[in-house]
Structure formats: C-alpha cells, structure tokens
Amino acid sequence: MKWWKHAFAVDPPGPAEPTEEQKIFTDWLCGLAVRRRMTTPSLMALTLSRPLNYIISQAMVCTTPMVELFTDNKGYHNFAEFLEHRGSIEYLCHRIEELEAEASHRNPEEEEKNRQSQDNTESSFNTEEFQD
C-alpha cells in the first residue's frame, strides 16, 4: 500500500525552479514584459490565470503541431512543461518583479541605451537558440 501515499501527491508549495533551458525562455519572456513596461498588466494576467496554469500548459501541448508549422521552437515546449508545475506562475511573478526592480535602479541614460540595443536585438531575434 506504499503507492497509496503517492496517489494524490502534489508539488511542494512555493515557486517552481525551472531547468536551465526553461530559465532561458522564461527570462526572455519576463524581460520582454519589463522592457515594454507591461509589468502591472503582466502580473495581473498571471495572477488571474494561476488556477488555470496546468490547463494552459496542456492547451500549449495540444497546439504544438500548429506552432511548429511557423517555427521549430523548443522554448515553447519547455515553457509548456514548466507551466505544468504548481509554482510556475509564482516564479514568473517573482522574476518579473526582480527584473522590474533591477530596471528601476538603473541610470535613465543607461536605461535608454539598453532599450535601444534591446529593440535592435528584438527586431532580429533569432529563434535558433530555442530550437532542437
């Protein structure tokens, strides 16, 4: 009857820790929200979707074949895997808040230079680093 104690096991409370591959994609996604100054709407959307994170991850898995028609993006699959964990939304919220705090402590001139260089990087964003 040892299997019974694991029958209804759930992830421990608190934020989930992503793997290195997942961390690359989640940091890029959180950084994108902060650079576009969408921190508050992003946090609201994440908080409201917290109960649905597993369902959202399964929907992402179902749409993977359609997404792969346009891009061969391993980051998409890794992000869907990350969302399966209970604390994934909490991790994303904390990460966005950390990046926002880092951005608010920078010098305004330095921030403008970073924004211009990141805009150039975003326009030529290469999805090859997320591919198989």
pLDDT digits (tens, 9 = 90+) for 85-101: 888 999 999 999 999 99
**Domain residue extents for the chain:** 19-125
Contact 39, 103 (CB under 8 A): no
125/16: higher pLDDT: 16
> What pLDDT score was predicted for residue 117?
65
> What pLDDT score was predicted for residue 8?
63
Please write the tens of the pLDDT for every residue from 61-76. Answer: 999 889 888 876 788 8
Contact 83, 53 (CB under 8 A): yes
Please write the tens of the pLDDT for every residue from 97-111. Answer: 999 999 888 766 666
The predicted model scores a pTM of: 0.71
- What confidence category does residue 112 fall into, taking pLDDT thresholds of 50, 70 and 90? low
74-83 vs 20-35: helix crossing angle, rounded to 10 = 90
